[in-house]
Amino acid sequence: MTIRIDTCPPLPEIDVPLLDPPPPRRARALMIQGTSSDVGKSLLVAGLCRAYARRGLKVAPFKAQNMSNNAAVAADSDLPPGPEGPHFGEIGRAQALQARAAGVPPSIHMNPVLLKPQALVGSQVVLRGRALGNWPAKHYHELKPLMMPAILDSFARVAAEADLMIVEGAGAATEVHLRRSDIANMLLAEAADLPVVLLTDNDRGGALAAVVGSWMLHSETERARIRGYIVNKFRGDFALYAPGCEVMTAHTGWPLLGVVRWFDAATLLPAEDALALARPLRSEGAGLRVAVPQLSRVANFDDLDPLSSEPGVELRWVRPGEPIPEGTDVVLLPGSKTTRQALEELRANGWDTDIRAHHRRGGRVVGICAGFQMLGHRVCDPDGIEGPPGETAGLGLLDVETVIGPSKRLLTLSATDLLSDTRVTGYEMHMGVTTGAGLARPWLSLDGRAEGAVSADGRAMGSYVHGLFGADGFRAHWLGAMGGQASGLDHAAQVEAALDALAAHLEATLDLDALLALAR
């Protein structure tokens, strides 16, 4: 089912606090722009953040606009703390990982504009952590210039607190047909006076044409702002590739600043968005078999990274058109930006029938966030928050129902799960209120607060808490309850080791002193 957004909300009054005058800029900054999407900008920025932080610099990431349904909760400094503590907003998962790499807390100012796609032609627009509404792409370009003051204000706030900022561009920097409303690439570089390094991807081929084509499409002043280019994801004998780099430099005048070889451990780090699901979708573990339907608007699927890292778990993403595999032990429904559309996709692929049959045979079904909502009797969206107004029948495995409303629950949590007697950390990020008798049988008891639901037979369970499986003790308890076996994996240490390895990889393949000298 495709949700089309045919109407445009009225242009809003952009009401965010701006500092006047802006704080003095402390940080030097360097911007990484790409010749296309998925050239590896986010991972390169994360590695640079960790590498320069290890040198003793206070580093901060920044990306003016990100498009992803993989989001993270970050501190919202625009609002004073309330009776229950600080307020939170949401930013792209990539910027949260980059902040972690830099060793600093994530902030809404590190990613002031987040687009969360929920249709082929439209997205929810999140400004400084809070949703502005749903916007068709053709009308979003009218909104973008109105947000530029807030973006520059956020940039100034981050720059006032760091020694070095690594700024990530968005998509392809040479989309000249969109330049009038650019807020994330060259217009930002000009407004903030940022030196730019161009990143291209060798793995898919076409790097030579991408770099030379970028030079052709940029204006003279933009070409002068680019200090050089980096070739990413390189495999093979560089001696055979070097003549191509000579051609790039001869045509553009830009020097080659380095070649980053393929980094295998990238799979151990959270993916930025659903582009990652185009790659192999099956972990190499053997033991407990977990099947995950691949929904088109899947969100926050890094929830499953700790499970796929377990050697005793075989986690498989089930592509559209494929049945839930025979022999599956657990069907896991992840988050989704559009819960009712996700239910329609389940039915269109026959997965609803497969899941009910799996459950009747004694199999387990688990839902996280939107997956939790899908397990109930129905999901109602009376105001058309996620698409056309209406209601959609759920899978009926939990005695609950959900009403989608305009408010979004955003919070981080650190608590003891009293059911497993283990410490858990995570976050909630959802629209909708779930009610029903099934809540009397909660899945979690977080420091005495009941959360989620478990069916009367104990074989279906759901929760709004993202990040549960990242808690090693909780994951071990859950795997045991599902009939699997935990390995003792320290997942947080695994991620930290991968970030350290990425930083060392960049130290070995790039001249980081020369790159740092370019920052200003």
For residue 111, what are its two tokens?
């990613």
CA atoms of 310 and 321, how far apart (whole Å): 27
CA atoms of 279 and 464, how far apart (whole Å): 27
Name the catalytic one among 218, 369, 430, 505.
Answer: 369
CA atoms of 438 and 456, how far apart (whole Å): 8
For residue 451, what are its two tokens?
């959360």
Helix pair angle (93-102, 41-54), 10° resolution: 20
Q: Which among 520, 499, 517, 509 has a CA at the least distance from the CA of 45?
A: 499
3-state secondary structure string across 370-400: HHHHHCCCEEEECCCCCCCCEEEECCCCCCC
Name the catalytic one among 87, 358, 359, 466.
Answer: 466
**Could you give the C-alpha distances from 47 to 32, 60, 272, 423, in angstroms and in order?**
12, 12, 14, 29
Q: Per-residue b/e over 146-161, b at no fewer than 16 CB within 10 Å?
A: ebbebbbbbbbbbbee
Q: Per-residue b/e over 15-34, b at no fewer than 16 CB within 10 Å?
A: ebeeeeeeeebebbbbbbbb
For residue 330, what are its two tokens?
């657990």
CA atoms of 59 and 54, how far apart (whole Å): 10
466 assigned to active site = yes
Report the SS3 class of residue 156: helix
Helix pair angle (351-360, 339-348), 10° resolution: 80
Q: DSSP secondary-structure letter at 485?
A: -
CA atoms of 95 and 272, how far apart (whole Å): 9
245 assigned to active site = no
CA atoms of 430 and 286, how far apart (whole Å): 33
Label the pairing between strands 460-463 and 453-454.
Answer: antiparallel
CA atoms of 54 and 518, how far apart (whole Å): 19
Q: How far apart are the first and last CA of the chain?
A: 48
**Long-range CB contacts (< 8 A, 24+ apart) of 376-382?**
376/400, 376/401, 376/402, 376/434, 376/436, 376/438, 376/462, 377/401, 377/436, 378/402, 379/339, 379/340, 379/343, 379/404, 379/432, 380/404, 381/340
Residue with tokens 């608007």: 297
Q: How many CB atoms lie within 10 A of CB 438?
A: 24
Q: DSSP secondary-structure letter at 466?
A: B
**Could you give the C-alpha distances from 86 to 79, 132, 292, 411, in angstroms and in order?**
8, 21, 34, 9
Active site residues: 369, 466
